[in-house]
Chain A
Amino acid sequence: SQKIEQNSEALNIQEGKTATLTCNYTNYSPAYLQWYRQDPGRGPVFLLLIRENEKEKRKERLKVTFDTTLKQSLFHITASQPADSATYLCAFPNQAGTALIFGKGTTLSVSS
């Protein structure tokens, strides 16, 4: 069955550094991947979508890469700030295209 894994449950970094989060998937070749941010007590908020024919996507301090050979997506936050502290989820569509399959998320803590 389709499986998605986010390597770290928690990542702690210092303000100003670049945070890199990893998402791996198996048994599937999704047409796209999405990244969401979730704050405690709230629903996820969409950040970025990257398609299988795109190597890289950027939005302000965020960058996402998609390597279909490695079956991996990397999510980078440059010049990280304490306000970036949250749980970040990667997701891809199920084969029927009717829903997203989510990873468990990586909780990022940025200390000042």
Chain B
Amino acid sequence: GAGVSQSPSNKVTEKGKDVELRCDPISGHTALYWYRQRLGQGLEFLIYFQGNSAPDKSGLPSDRFSAERTGESVSTLTIQRTQQEDSAVYLCASRRGQKDSYEQYFGPGTRLTVT
């Protein structure tokens, strides 16, 4: 079946502009995550959605970052007034969300470059 898809695959933007990144999770997966991966670094948790529960936003680095999810489908991550330090690969992952189902399925990521 189809995996997690993300768009765009690459985004180059000027400092100060807003960007919107999209994630389409695997159908039926109730849990969705956003991570950031800077060059040479590990994955950094940003936000977690689980069904209709309030999202865990504890990983968002500043109020310039926000994310939404429509039901149990598409999610968008928005970065306002981008800064050069926002340059990174943004990865989305989904999970079945059932008890004892811990494997996360990742998309290919969006490479964001802020000039």
Contacts and interface: CB of A to CB of B under 8 A. Distances in A.
Genuine A/B complex: yes
Interface of A: 4, 32, 34, 41-46, 49, 89, 91, 93-94, 96, 98-105
A96 B53 CA distance: 14
Given A43-B4, A98-B56, A103 B42 contact: yes
Contacts of A42: 108-109
Contacts of B93: 43
A104 B91 contact: no
Q: For this complex, into which size category does the number of interface residues on chain B fall? A: 20 to 34
A43 B56 contact: no
16 contacts: A32-B102, A34-B104, A43-B91, A43-B106, A43-B109, A46-B104, A49-B103, A89-B42, A94-B45, A96-B56, A98-B58, A99-B48, A100-B43, A102-B35, A102-B43, A105-B42
Contacts, number: 57
Contacts of B1: none
A43 B102 contact: no
Contacts of B50: 98
A4 to B, nearest CB: 8
Contacts of B33: 99-100
Contacts of A100: 33, 43, 45, 104
Contacts of A98: 48, 50, 56, 58
Name which of B48, B91, B104 has the most chain A CB atoms within 10 A of its CB: B104
B70 interface: no
A7 B104 CA distance: 24
A105 B33 CA distance: 19
Contact of B105 (A32, A46, A89, A102): A46
Contacts of B48: 98-99
Contacts of A44: 43, 91, 104, 106
Nearest to B109: A43
Contacts of B42: 4, 89, 102-105
